[in-house]
Structure formats: structure tokens, C-alpha cells
Amino acid sequence: MVDSSKWEVIEAGLKCIQGKGIVNSISLKEGKAKFVEQAKLIRRYGAAVIVMAFDEVGQAETRARKLEICTNAYRILVDEVGFPPEDIIFDPNIFAVATGIDEHNNYAVDFIEAVADIKRDLPHAMISGGVSNVSFSFRGNNYVREAIHAVFLYHCFKNGMDMGIVNAGQLEIYDNVPDKLREAVEDVVLNRRSDSTERLLDIAAEYAGKDVGKEEDASALEWRTWPVEKRLEHALVKGLTEFIVADTEEARVKAAKPLEVIEGPLMDGMNVVGDLFGEGKMFLPQVVKSARVMKQAVAHLEPFINKEKQAGSSNGKILLATVKGDVHDIGKNIVGWYCSVITTKSSIWA
């Protein structure tokens, strides 16, 4: 990503980076001629580009203006510059809601609906945005802000948003937001009530000082009283490692074979993770955390499984490969762990 408000810095960066870059950003703010000039240079360097929904009139605030500007930019880039549409990333502008100004109440809805419009009308273009902007009115209350982000992203991704700029370490799972808070946030984000802002403000103080994703009281550890199978599933979904080895060992002792722990509660947990991710209620950084928990559990079971396999014959070797660090690397590793303990004496992945 080459990001600068100075064009000469962006151009210098494009000359130096390896692989395919992304330029952040260009817009029609200074007119079509400047926009075309910059787009041609970006295309020459083979980079993708973030295009802001901004023209000579100003930033797009409404659904209609967002689509109008993005459509205009798309037609110029694709039809006149010859820019690959799959290398176009639109940022249709995320603005703060719950500001107390009535004109701002529909900002999130305008963005969410514009996402669907852009995906429908501008083939292959992608959509991004600075997610923290939407919750700026609640700066200082991180718990409420992350609840707003979770709800907002859930609806954005349902409508086709491809990516967002977020603090991955603080992302909350949509279903984990307390019911009362989630309802109030939904009212604000979707502009469902005229008093949405006041209702959210009334309860926001209850969550001030709370840390996102942390267990804060005894009731939060109630899951430790559950059956071990449910505890393993919970740890995977939440990305919790504190008790994973002890719980995996308890499940192994209880099971007829260590492999049953993988095929049972561990895979059950990963299936829940997959469902939540597919529904847009869980995001990639959280999936990565779940995969790390899975890896730790399998690592504990491997010596016991290998001991059982020593008496048997090998079923051969499996070579698995994908791009290192790519999103598919996560699934490939899970498949690799599974294959290594059920089919072969050794699996190899790169």
C-alpha cells in the first residue's frame, strides 16, 4: 500500500515496491484531467487503486451521490484509461453516526445501500472503507465503538463489501455483542428510530472501561463448568488458548481414541467458526485466532496419535501447498494437520 497526500511520494513508492501495489488514493476532486493523468501512471506501474467518492462538488454523503461518483470514476477508468476493473477499489466514504445532528442519522444506511448498488452496477470493482469513522461519536468508549463496528461490518459484508480498515486486535464477533447493546446499535446503524442516538447514549456508560474480548468477571467463566466437548468448541470460536491443552487432554482421556477428539469437538468448533465467517458475523483475524487454538490442540494430540500409528503401515505422503501467508494458508494448514494424524506418517506443506 502506497499512501500519501503528495503525488510525488506515491510515484516514488510505486518505483520501489515489489509485487503488486495499491495506491491510496485518487479521486475526481481536482477534476477529470488530473484523475486520468494519475490513473494512467498507476496502470503503467501495474498497481491497483483506491478511488474515493469525491468530486469537484465535494464528498459523497448520500446513497445516490456515492453511486453517481463511483460510476463516473469507473467509466473513466475502464472505458477511457483501460484500467482493469478488478484493480479498482472504491471507498464510498464512511461517516460518523449518532452525532446528534439529524442529517447524519442515515450515513451508515447510505453507505450500506451504496455498497449493494456499486456491486450491482460496477462489475468486478471492490469496496473498502475506514470503519472506525462510523463510531467516532463514541470515542473514549471502545466497547461501544467495537459493537458499532461489528454490527456495521455485518450489514456491509452482507451487501457485498470486500474489505475494511479496522483494528484487527479489537474486532468483536457480531453474536458476542450483548443483546441490549446490539439492539441499540442496530437502531443507530440502520436508523430505525428517531430516538436511536439517545437510547444508545443512555446505556453506553454501562460499557465504559470494559475491554473488548476479555473475560471480566466470574460469570464470564461460566463456560468452564460445561462438558469438555462444549468447552473445546467454545475455546475455538472465541480464540481462547488459556485452557486448551488441559481441556484437550481431558477429552483425550475420555475418548476411546485421540483422533475422536479432532473429529468430534475440535471439528465441531471449526464448523461453527466457518458458519459464522460465512454469515459475516466473524472476520478473518478472528478465524486466524481460532486456527491457532486448533493448532495448539492438535499439537498436544499428535504424539498420542503417532504412537498408535507406529504399529500400522503408512498410507503414503500428501503434499499440500499454497501461497505462504495467503488467506488459504489457514485452511491448508488445518487440512494438513488433519491428514497428518489420520492418513499418513508424515504430511508436507510449504
What are residue 18's phi and psi, to 5 degrees?
Answer: -95, 155
Query: Helix/strand/coil (H, E, C) string of 104-120?
Result: HCCHHHHHHHHHHHHHH
pLDDT value at 215 more than 60: no
Are both 140 and 19 inside the same structural domain?
Answer: yes
Number of domains in the chain: 2
Last residue of a domain, one of 207, 232, 259: 207
Higher pLDDT, 271 or 280: 271
Altogether, the residues listed in the chain come to a count of: 350
Higher pLDDT, 214 or 175: 175
pTM of the model: 0.79
Cα separation, 350 vs 79, in Å, equals 41
Q: What is the mean pLDDT of the chain?
A: 90
Are both 227 and 151 inside the same structural domain?
Answer: no
pLDDT value at 163 more than 80: yes
How far from the centroid of its chain's Cα atoms is residue 147's Cα?
Answer: 14
Confidence at residue 315, expressed as pLDDT on a 0 to 100 scale: 64
Are both 238 and 124 inside the same structural domain?
Answer: no
The model's pLDDT over 272-297, given as tens digits with 9 standing for 90+, comes to 999 998 888 888 778 888 988 998 99
Q: Poorest-confidence range of 225-229, 325-329, 343-347? A: 343-347
Are both 201 and 241 inside the same structural domain?
Answer: no
pLDDT value at 45 more than 50: yes
In a domain, 213, yes or no: no
Are both 222 and 202 inside the same structural domain?
Answer: no
pLDDT value at 164 more than 50: yes
- Across the beta sheet with 22-26, the strand order is 2-3, 22-26, 48-52, 88-91, 126-127
Domain extent at residue 299: 218-349
Are both 195 and 234 inside the same structural domain?
Answer: no
pLDDT value at 218 more than 80: no
Confidence at residue 317, expressed as pLDDT on a 0 to 100 scale: 74
CATH number for the domain harbouring residue 140: 3.20.20.20
Q: What torsion, rounded to 10 degrees, do the Cα atoms 176, 179, 181, 184 define?
A: 130
Last residue of a domain, one of 207, 235, 252: 207
Q: Please name which of 91, 120, 69 lies closest in space to residue 22, comparing C-alpha atoms.
A: 91
Are both 333 and 231 inside the same structural domain?
Answer: yes
Distances 180 to 62, 150, 201 between C-alpha atoms, Å: 29, 14, 13
In a domain, 170, yes or no: yes
In a domain, 212, yes or no: no
Q: Please name which of 85, 22, 27, 32 lies closest in space to residue 51, comparing C-alpha atoms.
A: 27
Confidence at residue 336, expressed as pLDDT on a 0 to 100 scale: 74
Helix (H), strand (E) at residue 121: helix 107-121
Cα separation, 102 vs 75, in Å, equals 34
Are both 29 and 77 inside the same structural domain?
Answer: yes
Q: Please name which of 1, 52, 60 lies closest in space to residue 28, comparing C-alpha atoms.
A: 52
Q: Strand 54-55 and strand 48-52: pairing?
A: unpaired
